Structure 1
């Protein structure tokens, strides 16, 4: 017995492994569309890992150790990510005014630009989902995910989580 004309089985008959795959596929679809649009808007070299790193750096900057902790990677891996962001013009290293021995990674105007454009594109993509699913259904989906995701669910350590 199916639940609809497309042959989708009723919820109780669906295998458990499909849920995380569907959630990941939705995430991946949004992120791929984001990066395609950012490429059209002048940021063709951006990668998902760069976005997580720039979010972790934030407006106040971060040391390599702080960046590593926020991303769930080693200080060395965070340093390599910061190096790449520097090469791409998204970040710079500056002296820490509180401790001359430390360097703080700060976003450049180009880094802040890509974050602002990302926010606008995310709004456009959400609007597309609302148009496809209906605004109320999308709000319900978001509300349901908030129930299921723990309060600490908005973490940036995806690279470290997927790592070895």
Structure 2
């Protein structure tokens, strides 16, 4: 007689999803450090994405990230200090300062994308391409339509 599998408690699903996310992010940052970007942190990826190719103001950055202007400014200060962002005069409005990526910031984002591709390949080598694709498809089905949101830092921070 076989014993039925114990039920899977609902709380495990978000924890396992978070653990998978954390594993990918930790692996990403270990590789980024090896490739010359030891100062990048998980929050910084959201910030660089929110700054974008055209740059933004600290106030707009805070809105995009769902954090206060002060918190955005502090994060920008840190990323300016380590060479990923710079502050420049806004050519359209002399009263405003823009935050924009430096070549180092662009390189960090480019390398992140390449590393994520390699990490996905690693997962596919372990689990099988079909299973990884099925996980992605299933998550797309269950996730909100606007699943890629830059305000994750503000959401986590409450």
CA RMSD of aligned residues (A): 1.0
The residue number in structure 1 matching 2:55 is: 61
Structure 1, residues 95-154: CA drift from partner, whole Å, max 9, x if none? Answer: 111111111100000000010000000000000111111101111110000011111111
The residue number in structure 2 matching 1:150 is: 144
Q: Which has the higher contact order (CA 8 A, sep 6+)?
A: 2
The residue number in structure 1 matching 2:121 is: 127
**For 1:130-141, what aligned pairs fall within 5 Å after superposition?**
130-141=124-135
The residue number in structure 2 matching 1:36 is: 30
Structure 1's 136 and 86: CA in aligned 2 closer, same or farther, altered over 3 A? Answer: same
**Structure 2 alignment gaps of length 5 or more:** none
Q: Does 1:99 align with 2:93?
A: yes
TM-fit CA distance, 1:62:
1.0
Q: Does 1:21 align with 2:15?
A: yes
From 47, 66, 72, give the equivalent of 1:72.
66
Distance in 2, matches of 1:123 and 1:63, equals: 31
Three-state SS of the structure 2 residue aligned to 1:152 is coil
Q: Give the TM-score normalised by the residue count of structure 1.
A: 0.92
**Structure 1 alignment gaps of length 5 or more:** 4-8
Distance in 1, matches of 2:140 and 2:129, equals: 17
The residue number in structure 2 matching 1:83 is: 77
Q: Does 1:114 align with 2:108?
A: yes
Three-state SS of the structure 2 residue aligned to 1:104 is strand
Q: Give the TM-score normalised by the residue count of structure 2.
A: 0.95
- Detail structure 1 runs of 4+ shifted over 6 Å in the superposition: none
Aligned length: 156
